[in-house]
Amino acid sequence: MRILVTGAGGFLGRGLIARIADALPQARRIVLTDRVVEGLGGAGVDTIAGDLSDPAFRRALLDPGFDLVFHLASIPGSLAEREQGLGLSVNLLAPIGLAEDVAARQPGARFVFASSIAVYGNLGEDTVTGATACQPELTYGAHKRMTEVLLSDMTRRGALSAISLRFPGLVARPATESGHGSAFMSQIFHQIAAGTPYACPIAADSTCWWMSRPAAVETLLWAARLADPGTTVVQPPVLHADLTSVAAATARITGQAARIDWGNDPVLRQIFGAMPPLDASPALALGFRADADLDALARAALSGDP
Amino acid sequence: MRILVTGAGGFLGRGLIARIADALPQARRIVLTDRVVEGLGGAGVDTIAGDLSDPAFRRALLDPGFDLVFHLASIPGSLAEREQGLGLSVNLLAPIGLAEDVAARQPGARFVFASSIAVYGNLGEDTVTGATACQPELTYGAHKRMTEVLLSDMTRRGALSAISLRFPGLVARPATESGHGSAFMSQIFHQIAAGTPYACPIAADSTCWWMSRPAAVETLLWAARLADPGTTVVQPPVLHADLTSVAAATARITGQAARIDWGNDPVLRQIFGAMPPLDASPALALGFRADADLDALARAALSGDP
C-alpha cells in the first residue's frame, strides 16, 4: 500500500505522521508532502516539498499513484478570509486538482479529506444531524463544502473512495500559532497549565465542540481503514462543553487554578462558541470515537505528542 | 451598463440574446461569447469567440469589466458524465475562473448563473422547498452545486452580487439536439405538432417540471433586474405536470392527435420523471413566474422563437 500525506508539516499532519507507520503496517511506501518538509522524514518515509496547486508538481508527486491519500493541506479560515487568492488556490483549486490526479493514477483510491465544521455556517440551537444544512459563512467553509461535494461525486462514480471528515478546531495547537480564530480554544489549556492569567475573548458559558489532536489522528486512521463506509461525509463525534467545564477539567488534571478573564467577542462567539448539541450516531455506528471525557481531552490536549 | 452573455450560442443563450437589447435598454455595451459565435452578433452587440477555461482568454474578454454577466455556458449532464475532463473544465473550472475574474474587474457585479435542478439529486415524494437537501447524482449537478456555493460566498463578502437559478430541462429544444437525457421532454412537443408517432422512453404518468425557453429568458432578465434579491439561490417556479397532461395540451393547441407509445426507462424516469411538487413561494414573492398553464407552455415550447 502506497500512502500520501499532504499538509504533513501542519498541526494535524505532524500528529498523523507520528502514528502512521505503526497504525498502517501494510504501508509499502509513505510519502509526506508540504511546502516545507525539513524535519518531517524518518525511516522508510519519503518527503517531497512543493505546491499542490502546481499541476507539474502534482504530476511528479503522484507518480506512480497512491492507494491512500490523507489530504490535510489547507490554510486556516481567518487567513483565507484575508488572503482570498491564496485561499482559492490552496483550499479549493489544489484539492480539486489533487483529487482528479489521484483518481487518474489510481482509480478507487481511498481519499481521506480533512474538512471542517465551517461547512455548516451559523448553526441555530437545534441538534446537528446528517440533515443539517450547509450554509458556510466563511470562504474557508465554502471551499471545504465544495470539495466535499466534488469528492462525493467522484466516489459515486468510482473515481475515488473518499471520506470527508468535518473536524472542529483541534486542541491544543501550539501557543505560538496564529491565523486561527479558534486560537482561544487552545490557549485556555496552555495558559491554565502554565499557571498564568488568560484573557479569553469569549464568555465562560460559550459552548464549543472539542476534539484533541490524538482523537483527530485516530479519526483519520479509522477513516483510512473503513472497508465500506457507506457514506462520503462523516461528522466525527466531539465533546460538546462550555468553557467553564473545560477550564475546570484542565485545572483538575494540571493541579493549577484557572485564572481567566472572560470576554465578550460576539463574532468569535457566533462562529465557535454557540455550538448546539451534536447527534453523532451515524459516525458512532461506523466506529468513530470522541475523546472519552473532558479530563481525557485536557490530558490529550496538553500531551504535547508528538 | 456593460453586459456579458456566456454560452450565447446555446439554446437558452439564443433565447436571451433575442430579448436582451429590448429588455435591458440601459445597456451601453453587450458582449456575447461562446466557442463559436458566427451568426450571433447584431447591431450594437459584440461577439468574441473563445474558451472560458483559458485564463488568457478570460483576461482579454473581461477588459475592462462588466456590470452584469449571464453565465449560461455549460455542457449537458449526460455528455459531462461521459466526458469527465471536459465537464470539469467547462462546468466547474470555467465558472470558478470567470466568477473570480469578473469580481476582480468589477466588484459587486451582478452575476446571473444558469444552475440546474440536477443539484438536488434523487428527490423523494416530499414537496421541494428551500430546505430540500442537495445530493447531486450526476457530476453535472455536483459541479453546478459547487458553483452555487462559490457564488453564495462571493456574494456574502461583496465580491459579486450573484443569483443562481435552478432551471429544469427547458422545452422545446430543437429536435436535432443530443446530449440531453431530458430530450424526450422536448420531443413530445415536436412529434405531436408534426403529427408523427413518438416512442417516449418513459411512462405517461411520469411527472416532470416544465419551463419553456421564453419563461426561462424572462427568469434570467428578472434576476438581472432585481435590486435586492436577499438570497443567492433561486428555485424558479415551474409547471408540475405528468406527460399525459402535457401531451393533451400539445394536441389541443396544435389540433393534432397525440400518437405516443409510452416506454418504461427506469433511469430516465428517476432523473426526470419522478419530480415531486414544488413550493416556489420564495421565488414567487420575488416576482419570478412560471409559464401560465400547460397550453401556454405548449405554445411557448413550439413558438420556435427566436
Question: In chain A, what are the domain boundaries?
Answer: 2-169+211-234, 171-209+238-276+292-302
Cβ atoms of A105 and A47 within 8 Å: the answer is no
H-helix or E-strand containing B99? helix B94-105
CATH superfamily, with its number, for domain A2-169+211-234: NAD(P)-binding Rossmann-like Domain (3.40.50.720)
Is B92 close to A93, i.e. CB distance below 8 A? no
Q: Given the residues B70, B113, B120, B140, select the one marked as catalytic.
A: B140
Give contacts of B96 with chain A, Cβ < 8 Å: 88, 92-93
Q: Is the pLDDT higher at A78 or at B248?
A: B248
Shortest CA gap A269–chain B (Å) = 19
Cβ atoms of B145 and A133 within 8 Å: the answer is no
Give contacts of A131 with chain B, Cβ < 8 Å: 133
* pLDDT (0 to 100) of residue A71: 98
Contacts of A267 (CB under 8 A, 6+ apart): none
Shortest CA gap A144–chain B (Å) = 10
Give contacts of A157 with chain B, Cβ < 8 Å: 81, 84, 139
Residue B219 pLDDT level (bands cut at 50, 70, 90): very high
**Cα B40 to Cα B61: distance, rounded to the nearest angstrom:** 16
On whether any CB of chain B is under 8 Å from the CB of A96, the answer is yes
Do the domains B171-209+238-277+291-302 and B2-168+211-234 match in fold? no
What type of residue sits at position B146? M
Is B131 close to A133, i.e. CB distance below 8 A? yes
β pairing state of B239-242 and B207-212: antiparallel
Condensed to tens digits (0 to 9), the pLDDT of residues A21-43 reads 999 999 999 999 999 999 998 88
* pLDDT (0 to 100) of residue A304: 79
On whether any CB of chain A is under 8 Å from the CB of B107, the answer is no
| Closest alpha carbon within chain A to B119 | A149
Condensed to tens digits (0 to 9), the pLDDT of residues B83-134 reads 999 999 999 999 999 999 999 999 999 999 999 999 999 999 999 999 999 9
Q: Judge whether residue B305 has pLDDT over 90.
A: no
On whether any CB of chain A is under 8 Å from the CB of B101, the answer is no
On whether any CB of chain A is under 8 Å from the CB of B227, the answer is no
In Å, what is the CA distance from A169 to each residue of A68, A172, B159? Answer: 24, 9, 27
Low-confidence ranges of chain A (pLDDT < 50): none
Q: Judge whether residue B170 has pLDDT over 70.
A: yes
Grid coordinates representing A170 are: 483541534
Residue B179 pLDDT level (bands cut at 50, 70, 90): low
Grid coordinates representing A294 are: 473532558
Looking at domain B171-209+238-277+291-302, its CATH architecture is Alpha-Beta Complex (3.90)
Is A20 strand, coil or helix? helix
Assigned CATH topology for domain B2-168+211-234: Rossmann fold (3.40.50)
**Cα B244 to Cα B207: distance, rounded to the nearest angstrom:** 9
Return the CATH class of domain A171-209+238-276+292-302: alpha beta
Cβ atoms of B80 and B131 within 8 Å: the answer is no
* pLDDT (0 to 100) of residue A43: 83
Partner residue opposite B153 with nearest CB, options A96, A139, A150: A139
H-helix or E-strand containing A58? helix A55-61
For chain A, the first-to-last Cα distance in angstroms comes to 24
Give contacts of B92 with chain A, Cβ < 8 Å: 96, 150
* pLDDT (0 to 100) of residue B306: 66
Cβ atoms of A8 and A47 within 8 Å: the answer is yes
Q: What is the ipTM of this complex?
A: 0.95
* pLDDT (0 to 100) of residue A182: 86
pTM (whole model) above 0.90: yes
Residues 126-165 of B with CB under 8 A from A: 131, 133-139, 142, 145-146, 149-150, 152-153, 156-157, 159
Q: Strands of B239-242's sheet, edge to edge? A: B170-171, B207-212, B239-242
Adjacent-strand bridge partners of A45: A30, A42
Partner residue opposite A139 with nearest CB, options B84, B135, B157: B157
B140 is catalytic: yes
Adjacent-strand bridge partners of A164: A113, A233
- The CB-side HSE value for A281 (13 A sphere, CA atoms) comes to 5
* pLDDT (0 to 100) of residue B178: 62
* pLDDT (0 to 100) of residue B42: 85
Q: Given the residues A140, A167, A189, A272, select the one marked as catalytic.
A: A140
Determine the residue among B153, B154, B160, B271 to mutate to test chain A binding: the one whose Cβ has the most chain A Cβ atoms within 10 Å: B153
**Cα B21 to Cα B25: distance, rounded to the nearest angstrom:** 6
| Closest alpha carbon within chain A to B99 | A88
